[in-house]
A and B are shown apart, each in its own frame.
Chain A
Amino acid sequence: MQKTALYKALGIAFGALLVTACANNGDLEEGAGAATTATEQQANEAADSATTGVESASLQGEQMMSDAEKAAQQALLDITVFYFDFDQSSIKESGKAALSAHAAYLASNSSARIVLEGHADERGTPEYNLALGERRAIAVRQFLMAKGASSSQIKVVSFGEEKPAVTGSTSSAYAKNRRVEVKYQSR
């Protein structure tokens, strides 16, 4: 599901590149519309004056992803849970690559929608933890938006300590419960 969508996105980008490349080669597309083509315009201008414009548009290439890179990108998108330190809502360095991949995906798929679910571990009070979970989800939201995702694509909800990922009162259980989960509603 995730993969097809990604390839679709890459496909569109590649298609666009081809069109640009063709236009630059001077091959006119049929039925391109009512607008006068560049060559026609140049011809008209040439008739009216003594000067002649030169074709000066530079080529713009796009780095194509190798299969390995695609796989790496997909692997990052498969990471949907991001962890936090106790009473903290700052994103850890280790999660930034994957979050950047989600941001890029959202930026190139404007119809994609996500919910960021913020959670806290069971220590401390339920209501303070509700606020903490929300802060964490908001931190992720801000990161995604800074990297190109739009606010309309992101909904935030905090469950505080009410929905632990794992039960148990150990530091490893706590670490797994202090998290934000990225949940795609539509791709």
Chain B
Amino acid sequence: MVTRVLFVLALVLGQIAHAELVIEVTQGRQSALPISVVPFEWNGALELPEDISAIVNNDLGSSGYFRTLDRSLMLATPHTPQDVNYVDWQRLKQDYLVVGQISSAEGGYAVEFQVLDVHQQRTLIHHRVKGKATQLRDLAHYISDHIFGQLTGIPGVFSTKMVYVTTNRERSRFNLNFADADGAREQLIFRSDEPILSPTWSPDGKKVAYVSFENGQSEIFFQELATGKREKVVAWDGSNSAPSFSSDGTKLAFVHSRLGNPDIYVMDLNTRKAERITKHYGIDTEPQWMTDNRHILFTSSRAGGPQIYKLDTVDGSVERVTFEGRYNARARMTADGRKMVYVHGNGDQFHIASQDMESGRVRILTRDTNLDESPSVAPNGSMVIYAATEKERSILAAVSVDGEVKFRLPSRFGDVREPAWSPILN
């Protein structure tokens, strides 16, 4: 009986822990480039555990920059340029063709692949990459990054990771998960019976900071990803929340509140000394370092409802940066510092907006999801991942910074919240 209960319990927990996400592209770019990823050649006796060319196909398709061709529509499956009949692919209105071969290499596999220009009938890219037997998905994402970078001029982010929180309906279990940017290979890295929120990456991608209520109040922790080692960093009496690393990794901005007056503090991560940098009686929260390591964007209720402000940490000056609408909060920057994205609320509608830092021009990016929150920008500045509510469940969705490409990452179980996209990891 006891074993049976345990078994059922393990099943339930297993389901929550493995809330594996699956990408569904909902809107692509009109100008998406047609590309065919031909299944790669593999002459091994056993089928490979991962289909590398299918992963590359999925990566390129979900980026919105490419429109991929379904395998069933291909007239032939060449593996080298010599086998290619370009007329076939021109008839299928393809611009690019990816062909490749997988072979066994010492302790793993090697993939040699080529990208061909269908119109000019020539090889654009010819590349070879090796990996361990356990790294088939890594090999695939490497290939996707290489092709994406060469053809678009934008660094690919298919090899990046994300962390996010999953929770059950009863809110009695909270999991911090780590997964590939496409939602695959989810791993549970911390779990608690109490809320976990605001996960964020250190700029070197080696650790994450987050807020945990495990000790009865909100406290800020660091966790090293390789070792799982945790460190309690800010646990002052009251509420501690919203950690943000400066892009040089030397400082941590966070929020501390006692008696209902949240203010922003900056901690020097070498000396661990912290200084309070906002002193307003309103709510000051959600600090986000700008790329210059000097300014901080933050949300404040000082004008009534929440709006985004820019703070100079050197001279202490504060400047309001959002003016449209009554609810603007939780700003995040693109890596080039040219745009910020944030939550824009209007009545009961909450959407993700982008704003050009120079011109101030605002654009609402999401209209087809509801109660959007927690935007996190991909390290190449192309996409924003965020949490939204769909059929009373919380899911992850993504939109390109120009609003043209959209996809969803629904989970099969529970609620998924608070995504944080990693930096580019090398």
Contact = CB atoms under 8 A, between A and B. Distances in A.
B218 A158 contact: yes
A87 B301 CA distance: 10
Interface stretch (A40-48, A62-70, A95-103, A124-132): A124-132
Interface stretch (A22-30, A75-83, A162-170): A162-170
Given A157-B216, A158-B218, A127 B198 contact: yes
Contact of B392 (A157, A159, A169): A169
Given A134-B239, A158-B218, A167-B392, A126 B299 contact: no
B216 A125 contact: no
Contact of A163 (B171, B257, B350): B171
A164 B169 CA distance: 10
A167 B285 CA distance: 26
B171 A164 contact: yes
B286 A125 contact: yes
> Would you call the interface of chain B mostly helix, strand, loop, or mixed?
strand
A130 B241 contact: yes
A160 B285 CA distance: 13
Given A122-B389, A168-B392, A169-B371, A127 B241 contact: yes
How many chain B residues sit at the interface, stated as a range, is 35 or more
Contacts of B242: 127, 130
Given A128-B283, A130-B241, A130-B285, A123 B299 contact: no
A14 B166 CA distance: 54
B305 interface: yes
A124 B392 contact: no
Interface string B153-170: 000000000000000010
A124 B260 contact: no
B53 interface: no
B255 interface: yes
A146 to B, nearest CB: 14
A135 B283 CA distance: 9
Interface string A103-146: 00000000000000000001111111011101101110100000
A134 B195 contact: no
A124 B257 contact: no
Nearest to A122: B371
B327 A124 contact: yes
A155 B242 CA distance: 21
B370 interface: yes
Contact of B255 (A122, A127, A156, A164): A127
A123 B371 contact: yes
B345 interface: yes
B379 interface: no
Contacts of A167: 169, 392
Interface string B330-341: 100000000000
Interface in B317-366: 327, 329-330, 343, 345, 348, 350
Nearest to B259: A138
A135 B345 contact: no
Contact of A128 (B257, B260, B299, B371): B299
Contact of B345 (A124, A163, A164): A124
B371 A131 contact: no
Contacts of B286: 125, 127-128
B329 A128 contact: yes
A123 B350 contact: yes
B20 interface: no
A127 B197 contact: yes
A131 B283 CA distance: 7
A2 to B, nearest CB: 23
Interface centre among A126, A156, A167, A171 (most CB of B within 10 A): A126
Given A135-B283, A162-B195, A127 B392 contact: no
A125 to B, nearest CB: 4
12 contacts: A123-B345, A125-B306, A125-B330, A125-B374, A128-B283, A128-B286, A128-B329, A130-B241, A131-B301, A134-B260, A138-B259, A167-B169
Interface of A: 87, 89, 122-128, 130-132, 134-135, 137-139, 141, 156-160, 162-164, 167-169, 171
The 5 closest A-B pairs by CB, nearest first: A138-B260, A162-B195, A131-B283, A125-B330, A125-B329
